[in-house]
Amino acid sequence: MKKRVLSIIALMCCILETFCMPVGATNLDQDEAEIIATEEFVVYMTDQTRSASETTVVYPVNVRTNILYLKSKGLGFQIIATAEVPILDGLNGFVEYNTSIDPDHGSVVPYSESNNTPGRTVTWIDYTGNKYDSGVKITATFSGVVSADAKYLGQEVLVNGPYTQTATATIP
């Protein structure tokens, strides 16, 4: 019995050592993406086929843009759109970014992501392959449209919400 209790205690210590890390410590030796900047905002999707005098459908969508850095893949970008009702079917647009190394020459990363069936979330992520030294500043402008299929007064309507959001980060 005493041996079993000691074995259980030893096992628990191993588990705690494996999963616990001091507050503020990071393990960047592993190749994990690090979010180096994030912006959150709300996009209001409306039925773009109706005139301003007609009733429009409005769906709020929470959008989060992330600038990522992964040692093996370099600079990356991510967009996550989330709605309360399962209507989202796509994201499309582009990310334009500049660096502090060459601020006059930007790069553009186009994106398009869609769901086969409408859902609550649409996520896009891509890495540029460009690697930078620590301390380089990145400014990225995310421009695009969140789109959805919805029913309004019994009819299918296409709704969308345009957005433009800028985020700034420093390579760790």
What per-residue string of b and e applies to 58-93 under the rule 16 or more CB within 10 Å gives b? ebebebbbbbbbeeebebbbbbbbebeeebbbbbeb
CATH 2.60.220 holds for 26-170: no
What pLDDT score does 117 carry? 86
pLDDT at 16: 41
pLDDT for 151 beyond 90: no
**What average pLDDT does range 119-137 have in this prediction?**
96
The confidence score (pLDDT) of residue 18 equals 40
pLDDT band at 28 (very low <50, low <70, confident <90, very high): very low
Say which amino acid occupies 133: D
Q: Are 143 and 79 in contact (CB under 8 A)?
A: no
pTM: 0.77
One-letter amino acid for residue 135 of the chain = G
Compute the CA torsion angle 73, 77, 81, 86 (nearest 10 deg): -30
Q: What is the pLDDT of residues 60-91, one digit of tens each?
A: 999 999 999 999 999 999 999 999 989 899 99
Q: What is the mean pLDDT of residues 107-114?
A: 96
State residue 4's pLDDT score. Answer: 52
Q: What are phi and psi of 49, to 5 degrees?
A: -90, -10
